[in-house]
Amino acid sequence: MDILNILYVAITALAVLLVSITIWSRRPFKWRLSAFFIGVGLVTILYASILELLSRPKPAHMELFHKDIPEVVLLHASWEEEVALYILVEIPGVDEPRLYILPWNREEAEKFEQAMDEGEEKNEEVRIGNPFFNADEEDRERLIYTTPSKPLEQKGREQLPITNFDPEAEQPSYGEEEDKN
């Protein structure tokens, strides 16, 4: 979300610069006034379009910044038959989960469903290997698997901390006293 704010500020600054150049040019007043309103309209439409895009899933093959990530955690998968697959993933190093849209593929939908069921059954994370490529254009396969189960916590009594040995604090034994006499 932060990158969207940066991009919006940059585009707005460029639009303001373009409008200010037009306003300070030697054109009739009606053209300068119309340039001002066109610039305001451009910034408003840009803001509305960014807000609208935030609610839509992003095509996975259009990912730019995280394209080289080897695997992501699959949080949820759903689909519309003959339309598309929708996946909600958690990318390492990114705070919020992301929603992506993949082209419809019955085999992949079955793999997603099977992996989600298996992960839920075993209480394991479901991971997707090499997620951001267009399967229609490449011959490789999208890997979908569950992670190995995490070890259970140790049962039993609590482990006490280890203490350091202090030889001066120890009482002399009986055998040592008899040798001194």
Q: What tokens does 165 get?
A: 């040995």
Q: What is the model's pLDDT at position 86?
A: 92
pLDDT per residue over 53-107, tens digit each?
A: 777 888 887 887 888 888 888 888 888 988 999 999 998 888 888 888 888 888 8
How far is Cα 120 from Cα 157, in angstroms, rounded to an integer?
A: 30
Would you place residue 180 in the very low, low, confident or very high pLDDT band (cuts 50, 70, 90)?
low
Q: What tokens does 173 get?
A: 């034994």
Q: What is the model's pLDDT at position 31?
A: 85
pLDDT per residue over 19-58, tens digit each?
A: 888 888 888 888 888 888 888 898 888 888 888 877 788 8
Exposed e or buried b for every residue in 85-113, given b needs 16+ CB within 10 A? Answer: bbbebebeeeeeebebbbeebeebbebbe
How far is Cα 9 from Cα 7, in angstroms, rounded to an integer?
A: 5
Q: Is pLDDT at 119 greater than 80 in this prediction?
A: yes
How far is Cα 42 from Cα 35, in angstroms, rounded to an integer?
A: 10
- Tokens 């451009």 identify what position? 42
Return the CA Rg of the chain: 32
pLDDT per residue over 120-161, tens digit each?
A: 888 888 888 877 765 555 555 666 767 665 666 777 677 667
Q: What is the model's pLDDT at position 124?
A: 83
